[in-house]
Amino acid sequence: MKKLLLLIVSAAILLSGCSAEKSDKSASSLSEFKPESKINNHVSVDDFGAVGDGTTDDYEAIQEALDYIYSNGGGTVYFTSGKTYLISKSLFIRDYTNIYAYGATIKAKGSIGLLVNQGDGEEPTGYSGHSHIMVEGGIWDCDAHSFEDGLGTNYGQNGISFTHCQDITIRDVTILNTAVYHAIELNACQNARIQDCNFLGFKLGTGNKEAIQLDVAQKNSGNKAWDGTLCNNVVITGCFTGPSERLPAHPVFVGSHATYEKNCYSNIIITNNIVNSDCGVYAYYWKDCIITGNIFNGVGDPVHQEKSSNLVISNNIHNNTVYPQQ
């Protein structure tokens, strides 16, 4: 905590000497994303039989609560602060559903993703999948361990995975100890916001994976409908990456490493994050994007650009130096 405070203080001092001007596009875009929500209905997972003792498998009870909210037109599913909910299968969230999990822990039992928006047999295209979703609060523990101790998750997983959707908010979430893949996978998503989240701990597989991956709907992307839809209009702000108590940080904070017919991800805004990954942003086929006000503490590139255009990169800090240099 002391190190984090020092980083923030030092960054504030350095940034005070930078140009304070940010483009109008940055300010307006950050205010544009106000996800729709229907909050007339609200239920607690405990009312459906969830125990939250960290031992009992609460998957069926939590899924029943999510199904109830969806079947009643949308609303909010609450988790009880101070409880740990163990789940043996990925939770399936659908249209107009909010999750409120402040103070609670949702923990994987085995090598599973924790939360998805695409069910068995569903193959949405474009941005027509389950949308208008908000996830707020909670520790989402994928439970990966090192290869040496042989405990916890040992295979690839995404912590939270949303596909073919729009109007998505993930806020104040901590994702712990992801194995091989990503803390958050956005595949074919538009109008999404990831705000004030922590990504701690990563078990390395065969490649340098991102904490947040922006992906395209194509073969081998984990998506069932391979229609080439990319992510657009995504804001990532106020987030933190670093090691957990038992695993190192993700190698890359946010990025993409695939496209479809040379199409580009567009209007990606990455601002005011603290990044302790080796690489900050891996921009592959990006255009019309903004990267500003971030603190990059890694040994690699703060921003790696490949086949990208019209990226506005300003007022960042890389290892206590203004980046890019004026």
User: Can you give the pLDDT at residue 222?
Assistant: 57
Q: Does residue 231 sit within a domain?
A: yes
Cα dist from 170 to 9, 55, 215, 324, whole Å: 26, 26, 17, 29
pLDDT in tens, 7-35: 443 444 344 433 333 333 333 333 333 33
- Whether residue 161 contacts residue 185, with contact meaning beta carbons closer than 8 Å, is answered with yes
Sign of the C-alpha dihedral computed for residues 234, 217, 163 and 239 taken in this order = negative
Mean pLDDT to the nearest integer, 49-56: 98
Q: What is the mean pLDDT of residues 122-131?
A: 89
Percentage of the chain lying above the pLDDT 90 cut: 68
Say how many domains are in the chain.
1
The HSE-up count of residue 159 (CA atoms within 13 Å, CB side) is 35
Identify the sign of the CA torsion 217, 222, 224, 226.
Answer: positive
Confidence label for 55 from pLDDT (cuts 50, 70 and 90)? very high
pLDDT confidence of 206, banded at 50, 70, 90? Answer: low
- 2 found inside a domain: no
The contacts of residue 102 (CB under 8 Å, 6+ apart) are: 81, 136, 137, 138, 172
Single-letter residue type at 308: S
Q: Please give the average per-residue pLDDT across 41-62, as a whole number.
A: 97
pLDDT score recorded for residue 189: 96
Q: Is the distance from CB of 193 to CB of 172 less than 8 angstroms?
A: no
Whether 74 is in a domain gets the answer yes
CB 96 within 8 A of CB 117: no
> 239 lies in which domain range?
25-323
Q: What confidence score (pLDDT) does residue 155 get? A: 65
pLDDT tier at 111, thresholds 50, 70, 90: confident
pLDDT on residue 71: 95
- In this predicted model, which residue has the larger pLDDT, 152 or 118? 118
Q: 58 falls in which pLDDT band (50, 70, 90)?
A: very high
Does residue 8 lie in a domain region?
Answer: no
Residue 311 has pLDDT above 60, yes or no: yes
Sign of the alpha-carbon torsion through 277, 278, 284, 286: positive
Q: Is the pLDDT of residue 110 over 90?
A: no
> How much is the average pLDDT of 102-124?
89
For residue 203, how far is the Cα from the chain centroid?
17
Q: Which of 128, 106, 103, 114 is nearest to 229 (CA)?
A: 128
For 112-124, what is the mean pLDDT? 87
Burial 258-287 (b: 16+ CB within 10 A, else e): ebbeeebbbbbbbbbbbbbbbbbbbbbbbb
User: Tens digit of pLDDT for each residue in 268-281?
Assistant: 999 999 999 999 99
Chain-wide mean pLDDT for the chain? 85
Question: Looking at the domain assignment, is residue 258 inside a domain?
Answer: yes
Q: What is the pLDDT of residue 33?
A: 37
Domain membership of residue 7 (yes or no) is: no
CATH code where residue 36 lies: 2.160.20.10
pLDDT, tens digit (0-9, with 9 covering 90-100), for 212-258: 999 898 766 555 667 889 999 999 999 999 999 989 999 999 999 88
Does residue 5 sit within a domain? no
Residue 247 lies in a domain: yes
Provide the 3-class DSSP secondary structure of residue 48.
helix
Query: Per-residue pLDDT tens for 150-173?
Result: 565 556 678 999 999 999 999 999
